[in-house]
């Protein structure tokens, strides 16, 4: 159980820098983050909304209560990351742009799987 908790917190903890740092830049609408949204074909006003949603989702994932909200947060991140991968493909961006979202998706799946394994072991 101890190893399971360590692996869970590693996967979940890595989501914070991977998603959280970009979220702050999106909320602040920095020129770089605005340029990313424009290059993917999205209007710049979407950035601050998604940044706030990302931070709320990260909070929902680490709060021990509210399992339904946690499920929605995991689902939202999955759709968001898959959308980012698809947007990069649709805009003809380099395959190198797919590496980071793919790695984040793996950590997200690891966190989700380990979360449910922990819940089953505690029951």
Give the pLDDT of residue 10.
96
For 42, which DSSP code? -
DSSP string, 53-118: HHHHHHHHHHSSS-HHHHHHHHHHHHHHHHHHHHHHHHTT--GGGGHHHHHHHHHHHHHHHHHHHH
pLDDT tens readout for residues 89-114: 999 999 999 999 999 999 999 999 99
What is the pTM for the complete model shown?
Answer: 0.92
Task: Compute the mean pLDDT over every residue in the chain, rounded to the nearest whole number.
Answer: 95
Burial category of 45 from C-beta neighbours within 10 Å (exposed 0-12, middle 13-18, buried 19 and up): exposed
Count CB-CB contacts under 10 A for residue 43.
9
pLDDT value at 122 more than 90: no
pLDDT tens readout for residues 49-86: 999 999 999 999 999 889 999 999 999 999 999 999 99
Mean pLDDT of 25-48: 94
Residue ranges per structural domain of the chain: 2-122
Structure token digits, residue 84: 């980012």
């Amino acid at each position: 159980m101890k190893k399971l908790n360590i692996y869970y917190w590693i996967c979940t903890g890595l989501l914070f820098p991977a998603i959280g740092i970009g979220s702050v830049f999106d909320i602040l609408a920095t020129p770089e983050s605005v340029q990313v949204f424009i290059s993917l074909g999205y209007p710049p006003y979407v950035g601050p909304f998604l940044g706030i949603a990302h931070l709320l989702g990260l909070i929902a994932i680490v709060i021990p209560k509210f399992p339904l909200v946690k499920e929605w947060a995991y689902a939202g991140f999955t759709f968001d990351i898959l959308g980012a991968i698809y947007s990069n493909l649709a805009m003809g961006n380099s395959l190198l742009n797919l590496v980071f979202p793919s790695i984040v998706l793996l950590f997200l799946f690891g966190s989700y799987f380990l979360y449910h394994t922990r819940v089953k072991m505690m029951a």
